[in-house]
Structure 1
């Protein structure tokens, strides 16, 4: 089980290049796939990351680029369970869609589980099958995404959807 954290800048050593940072997990995860370099290249292509960026230090990248490297660093290890905590917070709408596709491809290729923590309903509905809604640390709703707008939804879920609807309408 490995996490992908929201704040990518805090998860990279600012003194190391991205290539050095991506080499670090190899030292500690001896059981990882021997094709990790091929996996890295594949993910860089999927995430639309220029290989020249590997020589940069974290502070030299945009927030979106760094978040994609943050995601890449975990996905290249192919954890059995991936925990994504607000991973789209620094991404624009196009990169968010791309991220959804990358996670869906990851699942199709590995059949490994994912837990996605997010307030972004558009990202959630595009990426997951089941939705679990929590309030104050307690599960208040659990359903397949096709039942998202069901009248049976918990009142808190309905509140979240109302906020999402207002935000969505204001972007039109």
Structure 2
């Protein structure tokens, strides 16, 4: 173990010409793969600097692309939301119009179902018939006349007992 860092198969060196930066790589990478000729340190520094700049520019480009894509997605979402809102408003208006034509109260217009005017009108007709049927069944009968109260106690003892709750 000649290397104290625990890496094998690559060389690691810190050069003062590179500003104390650590350069890692295999021997073939440092020689440039040109048969053993070494790359001058000035070229290595320039290459390292160019790679850093290129990486920074790639990151900025990616950031701009993501920002533009995000903006386009936001605009698409806003357009979809506006379309949904418009279609909901049109459907609500259609329900209220049908309810008015069928003489239904506005509070029942939201209960109407259907996606076309014909379906909503058919549902309104069914609701009107159901309401009419329930109103006929639940109407109280007053054919017995006016109801009278029970006989009132006439003596004083009965009035006292009634007031006391006995």
TM-score (norm 2): 0.17
Question: Higher relative contact order by CA 8 Å / sep ≥ 6: 1 or 2?
Answer: 1
TM-score (norm 1): 0.17
In our comparison, the structure showing a higher alpha carbon Rg is 2
Give the structure with the larger helix fraction: 2
Instruction: Identify the structure with the greater strand proportion.
Output: 1
